[in-house]
Structure 1
Amino acid sequence: MAGIPSALLQQYGASLNRFVKGEYIFYEGWPAHFYFQVEEGTIKMLNGGENNDYIQGVFSQGESFGEPPLIGDFPYPADARAISNAKVWVLKKVEYLRLLRENPDVHFELMKVLAKRLCHKTKLLNAMNTQSPEQRILTIIDFFKQKSHRSGDCFEVPITRQAIADMTGLRVETVIKKVIQLADIGELRIANHKIMRPW
């Protein structure tokens, strides 16, 4: 899903808000009162840990975030923070729910998006509980590859080694070592310090 068209969001009263790199959009425990959709930049949802953060998801242009608490009427289970300078559409909850009721095609697309996210979370939990560090890393990379609409011989991984560590529960040193090992056996490539995954 490329997100809700901006014209439709504006029709229901959405505003385009700017966030600077590092700025929080919302905090864990806050009540959910708004729908958020990225227009430019990148947002991550994370839980802060004692030693490091755990990234729940990374969202870029056209992607929305934070809908389950909005629809389910419970507080945000994670923080949302801008990874880069970003522009984000913000729509009041009451208007978002009206938009869904009045646009069944948008509602259906939302259900598909949420189902895909749930499937990804299940795969990731399985990988973290039963698979090797290498498989955890490939599970995360393949999730981003499946979301991508880019073409070419290789998929360029859009997140850092630190972010991969934060999403898999591994130490960044382990990720660096395992990425090199995966490149040695052809599962990944490294070019100009960027991680590439062959299609």
Structure 2
Amino acid sequence: MPDSGLVAALKKSEMFSSLDSAMLQKIASLARWRSFAAREMIFSEGEPCGGFYLLVEGAVKVYKLSGDGKEHVLHLVWPGETFAEAALFLGDTYPAYAETVRASRAVLFPSQPFLALLRAEPDVAIRLMGGMALWLRRLVGQVEVLALRGASSRLAGYLLGLQEGPAAVLPAPKAVVAAHLGMTPETLSRLFFRMEAQGVIRVRGRTISILDAPELRRIADGESDV
């Protein structure tokens, strides 16, 4: 009998959200839990693909290294999101590095058993495509934000998305958040300083108190700037 906690984790993921209980049970029977310490490498670029992951707790950064060793964050993975699917379906090596930002817990779906399940259960594959389509739509939205919005608009929208009550708590170090938003840490610091000087927010470590939500929304919508 699959772990009930594992099945519950699958239900919360966009990737598996369209699957019924019987299908979730089949997938859960193949999966296994993995726990990682903060800043632990999950896999390296060029390493043979052993499967893909669903993040349940923590945060993971996926990145590449330039020729001079500089790190370029491709995206951040949050609980409920999957990563490394491309390598799985291409039957290839991992195309980038994946490292935890903080202590994390994930579900690993081993390559060969998972692919065998898809071949044996076409309905699972079809329904899984629906979940992947939802994920792709969200990813396209993120790309549009990076391409079409200015730095201050991206940051304001990000803070509004994180807001719970009167504050937003950054889920990762500021340098990682900056990379996720497509800006340098210096630019992020300048924007925080300007927003704070204008009375829009107050910054205390990773906790960002939102003092003027309407103005922050105007900045996010491109109707105002800092």
TM tier, smaller: 0.7 to 0.9
2:33 pairs with 1:16: yes
- Partner residue of 1:177? 190
Preserved CA contact (<8 Å) 1:29 1:76:
yes
For 1:29, the equivalent position in structure 2 comes to 46
Contact 1:26 1:80 in 2 (8 A): yes
The CA distance in 2 between the partners of 1:31 and 1:126, in whole Å, is 36
CA-CA distance at 1:112 after TM superposition? 0.6
In 2, the alpha carbon distance for the partners of 1:115 and 1:122 equals: 11
Deviations 1:13-53 (A, max 9, x none): 11112222222111123343302011222211112244742
The separation in 1 between residues aligned to 2:184 and 2:167, in whole angstroms, is 26
Contact 1:134–1:182 (Cα < 8 Å) also in 2: no
Q: Is the 8 A contact 2:57 2:104 kept in 1?
A: yes
Selected match of 1:2 from 12, 21, 25:
12
Pick aligned residue for 1:79 from 94, 97, 122: 97
Instruction: Verify the 8 A CA contact 1:52 1:166 in the aligned structure 2.
Output: no
Instruction: Say whether the 8 Å CA contact 1:2–1:63 is kept in structure 2.
Output: no
Which moves more between the two structures, 108-117 or 180-189? 180-189
- Could you tell me which runs of 5 or more consecutive residues in structure 1 were left unpaired when the two chains were aligned: none
Residues 104-154 of structure 1, C-alpha deviation per residue, up to 9 Å, x if partnerless?
444312221122113312431344xxx3x4234345x26x82xx6x74244
Distance 1:8 1:62, change over 3 A: farther
CA distance in 1, matches of 2:164, 2:46: 39
Q: CA RMSD in A?
A: 3.1
The sequence identity of aligned pairs, in percent, is 18
Residues 47, 180 of structure 1: alpha-carbon distance in 2 compared, 3 angstrom cutoff: same
2:122 alignment counterpart: 101
**Which ranges of structure 2 fall in alignment gaps of 5 or more residues?**
1-10, 18-23, 218-226
User: Relative to 1, partners in 2 of residues 1:56 and 1:8: Cα closer, same or farther, differing over 3 Å?
Assistant: farther
TM-score normalized with structure 2 length? 0.67
- The alignment partner of 2:102 has SS state of coil
1:113 to 135, 154, 161: 135
Change in Cα spacing, 1:170 to 1:110, as seen in structure 2 (3 Å) is: closer
2:60 to 43, 47, 50: 43
Report the Cα distance in structure 2 between the residues aligned to 1:8 and 1:185, rounded to whole angstroms.
Answer: 54
Q: Distance in 1 between matches of 2:136 and 2:207?
A: 29
1:162 maps to a residue whose letter is: A
Paired residues, number: 189
Q: Secondary structure at the match of 1:42?
A: strand
- Residue number in structure 2 paired with 1:161: 174
Q: 1:165 to 1:51 in 2, by over 3 A?
A: farther
Alignment partner of 1:85: what SS?
strand
TM-score (norm 1): 0.75
**AA aligned opposite 1:77:** P
